[in-house]
Amino acid sequence: MASSVPRKSSVDVQGLLEQLTLQEKMSLLAGNGLWYTAAVARLGIPSVKVTDGPNGARGELFTAGTKAACFPAAVSIAATWDTGLAQRIGKAMAEETKTKGASVLLGPTVCPHRSPLGGRNFESFSEDPLLAGLQAASVIQGLQENGIAATVKHFAANEQETMRNTINVVVGERALREIYLKPFEIAIKKAQPLALMTSYNKVNGVHADQNEHLVKEILRDQWGYNGLVMSDYGGTNSLEDTIKVGVDLEMPGPPQHRRLAAVEKALEAGTLDMASINDRVRSVLQLVKNVGKFEHPEQVAETAINDPAHQRLIREAGADGIVLLKNEGGVLPLQTAKLGSIAVLGQSKTCFSNGGGSANLNAHYKITPYEALQKAVGETVDLRYATGAHIHRKLPCWTAGVTDGKGQPGWTIKEYMFAAKDKGFSDGLQPQRTYAFPLTTYMAIEHVPDAIRLEGTFTPTSTGAHYFSLPALGHAKLFIDDELVFDAGPSPDPRGYSEGGEFEIRKQHDFVQGETYRLRVEVLAPSAEQAMIPLMAGRIMFHLGFMEQKDYEEDLIANAVAAAKDADVALVFVGNSAEWETEGHDAANMSLPANGSQDRLVEAVAAVNPRTVVVNCTGVPVAMPWIDSVAGLLQCWFAGQEAGNAIVDVLLGVVSPSGRLPVSFPRSLEDTPSYGNFPGDLATVTVHYAEGIEVGYRHYDKHPEKVLFPFGAGLSYTTFEFGPAVISPQELVHGGVVTVQLQVKNTGAVAGKEVVQVYLAPPQLESGSDRPVRPAKVLAGFAKVEVAPQSSVSVTVEIFFESAAFWDTAAACWGVDSGEYAVLIGNSSASCTDHGSLTVKESFTFGP
């Protein structure tokens, strides 16, 4: 059932449209700043506030903003294989969005995972279109049933961050329809999201926001989508084309293309018509109506409400998404009553809550695994901690030992606006705003001062040549006791700084323990010429990083080995921080950061302790050269603010692991289907999706030797048996639904959840057939059930007729061939077995 029933309202959208002047119409077709649509006070048309993002409602500020709940990332939600849980998360995110005064959430992201190197994979759900589409639809339903408009994104073929504003994705129509558009189609038809965001990239030579085939023909005409379409931020590439194909809203404002003078000129020249403008304005007004702003036009102040119900949900969802991939000798769950000591190594004092970029927010709190384990076992077990490896992409914020102008911990920020004649700092220049700031990461996205100063007093705890760094967007300088010690120069690359796309330059400076030093950072905003994209012109960003020499150069592995050597069990926490796995940056390889440090840690610990368990926190598959040396492996994704508690719940057996992989884990990068075609030919700014439809398990089914852990895989602390399936009806027809019913028995001693995965295998093609080659099988349905020990439950999975279809490029429609389709059931793509068949008596077509 569709979730986005518009709110009851007596507002006459067409009547309002007819009263608007051209100037008023165009004001509505671009944002009013970053987070608002424009208002028209004359006619009582209010503004609508939007907010990021994919795993929580951040509010207006990118850094140090209003605190918000951090939910598990989409890939973690997908790993639960639980649509009901996804819908509950959508409901909770709707409640969070309201606390930020917003009516539109910019999420979810549904683009399939094409390569494990994709920097934004964590923000999306799966390699499989059905799993991604159904989980996204559930989140959307949860949002919109509770009054918040969802924004499904990024439409379309946005599977990489490298050159994402300009890359031309060359993709065949069949792969486009079956893989890359299918999750959008499922989410739109099932949940009717009120908004959709186009992507930055080109698709077959045309930017997505100008792409008539994508937006007008497929989205608007074929799928019948009548919601609002907005551009990604700074992703509008024309005036006439975007309006004519169906993009309603240019974001953010002020407009780069939809300026009144340009519109008047286009109307006069006949390259733009008023009917197209009216269609776009109508969509904006309909969104305002659907989210209830005409009845409640007031702007609501942002608040931080740390809801205990949300805390419990995040913990539950985080644990349910964790996948147990290896458990030799029953090393897990940990029997703390029988353990005298646990080595807790690696990044156990880091909460891997979320990836970087739009997913960043100021969480209400974050629980690390070490904190959670310490709380759970108390003093009954000796916890032996050692870091073991540094994984910094950027040095940590320079906060320890720093006080601001009032003697309080932290820094003072001064923001400046220059007179037109001024080009920099000058004597007697007064700041426009001065305030305390707890961090040394600064992003002036919401407001644009011409320059800033960061000031503080530092007292080091040791003597040494300590390390610092200062990556920035803008011209950044660091002064110590008024002496210029580092001039970073003007940086033109906003993605390089703001979203982790470059390694930083690290410098050293001599400090003496106990002495005080006056620190000052000065940053001038980049000019339009310096900023690589117009959106970033004049916007300051910087990060001041710092580590004392003794910490930077410590022999971390030796300490970890000493802690692990005679411990009863060794837990090694590894992963990608939000600096490494982030919007704006694709990975160069599948290795854990940094420079092999985490892999060396695992190998060294496993060499001295046979009961080594690796806890991996990434949003993507990673290389695991140590996999044969460890006893246990948990894949924990980015599990939100309760990540520590969720992980410990599984480690201790409070929760039996029930996550299943939403992506295949290859043995190496060379084994991936996109290898050699990711991120493409950067000289020609082109990437070819040469693998076609053979994405994920569709590829590994033909090359099983190349997969380390298959799609859908995951272990439990109990065992299950599947009974025979009853398939009804056994004939599949156009518009039909087939039910697959079976008993699932828990044959173990503890309660657990199992995921029943149903795949459909097409008829075998005869030699010489001219029919399109099909995948060996496709996921056609799934269900997650909880079963008590030594008990059985009945499970029903629906298969819709679309699962048997392929895109017939020659006929430009969907086709279903006649023949016998095997129904395969199991708990991974590699372990499913034949449970019967369906028959299609006569071939048929439908759509597009």
Interval 771-796: pLDDT, tens = 888 999 999 999 999 999 999 999 99
Whole-angstrom distance, CA of residue 584 vs CA of residue 163 = 9
Burial pattern 50-71, b for ≥16 Cβ within 10 A else e, equals bbbbbbbbbbbebbebbbbbbb
- Residue 210 DSSP one-character state: G
Instruction: Give the residue from 74, 55, 48, 52 showing the smallest Cα distance to 65.
Output: 52
Interval 164-201: pLDDT, tens = 999 999 999 999 999 999 999 999 999 999 999 999 99
| pLDDT (0 to 100) of residue 473 | 84
| pLDDT (0 to 100) of residue 86 | 98
| pLDDT (0 to 100) of residue 535 | 67
| pLDDT (0 to 100) of residue 5 | 47
CB-based contacts of 83: which residues, under 8 Å, 6+ apart?
A: 134, 135, 137, 138
Whole-angstrom distance, CA of residue 516 vs CA of residue 1 = 65
Q: Which domains are assigned to the chain?
A: 13-290 (3.20.20.300), 308-391+553-663 (3.40.50.1700), 402-543 (2.60.120.260), 720-846 (2.60.40.10)
Whole-angstrom distance, CA of residue 778 vs CA of residue 130 = 9
Among positive and negative, which fits the CA dihedral 626, 80, 663, 816?
A: positive
| pLDDT (0 to 100) of residue 266 | 97
C-alpha gyration radius of the chain? 27
| pLDDT (0 to 100) of residue 314 | 98
125 with 136: CB under 8 angstroms? yes
| pLDDT (0 to 100) of residue 420 | 59
Q: Which two tokens stand for residue 270?
A: 């006949």
Q: Which residue ranges in the chain fall short of pLDDT 70?
A: 1-8, 419-423, 446, 491-503, 528-537
| This prediction's pTM | 0.94
The widest CA-to-CA distance across the chain, in whole angstroms, is 86
Q: Which two tokens stand for residue 154?
A: 């990024």
Instruction: Give the residue from 469, 449, 420, 453 showing the smallest Cα distance to 540.
Output: 449
Whole-angstrom distance, CA of residue 665 vs CA of residue 662 = 10
Q: Which two tokens stand for residue 665?
A: 């884990």
Q: Which residues belong to the active site?
A: 232
Distance of CA 671 to CAs 447, 699, 702, 708, Å? 46, 10, 12, 10
| pLDDT (0 to 100) of residue 188 | 98
DSSP labels, 380-414: SSEEEEE------SSPPBS-TTEE-TTSSBSEEEE
CA 535 to chain centre: 22
3-state secondary structure of 745: strand
843 with 772: CB under 8 angstroms? no
| pLDDT (0 to 100) of residue 303 | 97
